[in-house]
Each structure stands twice: as structure tokens, then as C-alpha cells.
Structure 1
Amino acid sequence: MDRNIQIIKETVHSVFPECRIILFGSRAREEQSGESDYDILVLIPDSLEPLDKLPYRAEIRKKLLEKCIFSDVLLQSYTEAEVKKKLPGHIVRTALQEGKYI
């Protein structure tokens, strides 16, 4: 397993121990370039208001950046993901369809 994937898992689970993590985008498709970031969807049990998600997303991104891992972090509850996976063109739908659980 890519060492960065292990670091991502450890970092995200330090913030949300009960979450599931999906890697999506170019790294999940193994089409990344040297400058590609890691696109991750973090699925959590409880819903949060959109503004309440921002500090958690920032915390995860900052911790990963400290380890030289560039990332884009989406944070969704299981309920939100269930709704959004039915919306054509929604990034959560794409992540759930094409991504890989890590």
C-alpha cells in the first residue's frame, strides 16, 4: 500500500475514528501525475451543518500538508451521501461510483 494512503487513513481516523474513507479521482484510477493531490471523501455517522464541516476539513488538510500530502477533502454523513449518490453529476455520486475504500 502507498505509504501516503496509510498516513491519510491514520490522519483522518484521528479526527473521525468511526468514519469510512474513499479515495477517488486520478489517484484512485491510478492516472495521477507527480503533482496530483489525493481526493478523499470522508463518510461520518452524524450529520453536520455545512459551516461546521469546515474546521474538520481544514484540520485534516493541515495535518496532511504537514506531511507533504496535498489533498481535497469532502466530508459527508452517510445520510447525505445516500441522497447525493442519486444526483447526476454530483461529486459525491462520482466518488461513490468510481472511488476505492481505503
Structure 2
Amino acid sequence: MPDEKLENIIQRILQVTTPDKIILFGSHARNEASAESDYDLLVIKSEIDNILKLEQKIYKNLLGLKANVDVIVRTPALLEENKNIAGSFTKNVLKDGILIYENR
């Protein structure tokens, strides 16, 4: 299971929303993280009225954690549109990211 900081981040996200999935990507997913590395998370959620507002709510709820976090929220439909574009963010995250939460 993820480290304690990551577990706290996940819990803070779940206090704001119930995503379909959360995917860790970037240096932490590649086991290349340094002490200064941030946590890069893709939050996948169906039925979002406003992606930007949800990202803002998540960031607000992450305040006070002793961890730098980058959160990107996307719908499954947006990911589907871009998943086969060579070199795209979506393709890379879906290929190399680690699923750390799934709503069952």
C-alpha cells in the first residue's frame, strides 16, 4: 500500500468527492521520487458538473498537509477521447500510472 502521506492525500480527496479511480503518476509512480517530489494524481470521476470547481475543492481540502500535490480531474469520456493519441498526457498516465484507489 502507498506511503502514509499518500494515504492521507487519498482520504482528503475522498472527503470532497467519490471518484471512480485515482491514479498516481510521475516520479512517485516510477519510484524515482526525491524528498522534494510532489504527488501527481489523476482523479477520474463520472458526472462532473465543473471540473475546475472540483479541483479547487480538492486543493482546498489538501491545505495543511505536509506534501506537495498536483491533482488533475478528468471524466472517463475525456480520457477515452485522448487515450490513443501518441505522446499524450492521457496515454502516458494510463500506461505508466498506478491505480491507488477504485470505487467498487
TM over 0.5: yes
CA RMSD after TM alignment: 1.5
Q: Which moved more, 1:35-44 or 1:66-75?
A: 66-75
The structure in which a higher percent of residues are helix is 1
**Match in the other structure for 2:38:** 37
Give the aligned residue type for 1:78: P
**Match in the other structure for 2:52:** 54
Structure 1 stretches of 4+ moved >4 Å: none
State whether residues 24 and 41 of structure 2, in contact with CA within 8 Å, keep that contact through their aligned partners in structure 1: yes
Give the SS at the match of 1:60: helix
Q: Which moved more, 1:30-39 or 1:13-22?
A: 13-22
Q: Name the % identity.
A: 33
Residues 1-102 of structure 1 correspond to what in structure 2 (within 5 A)?
Answer: 1-48=2-49, 52-102=50-100
Structure 2: distance between partners of 1:81 and 1:45:
11
Q: Deviations over 1:53-96 (max 9, x none)?
A: 22221222232231122111111101111111111222122111
State whether residues 40 and 73 of structure 1, in contact with CA within 8 Å, keep that contact through their aligned partners in structure 2: yes
Q: Give the alignment's TM-score, normalised by structure 2.
A: 0.84
Question: Unpaired segments of 5 or more residues in structure 1?
Answer: none
Structure 1: distance between partners of 2:16 and 2:3:
21
Give the SS at the match of 1:73: strand
Q: Deviations over 1:20-55 (max 9, x none)?
A: 10000000011011111000000001254xxx3222
Q: How many residues align?
A: 99
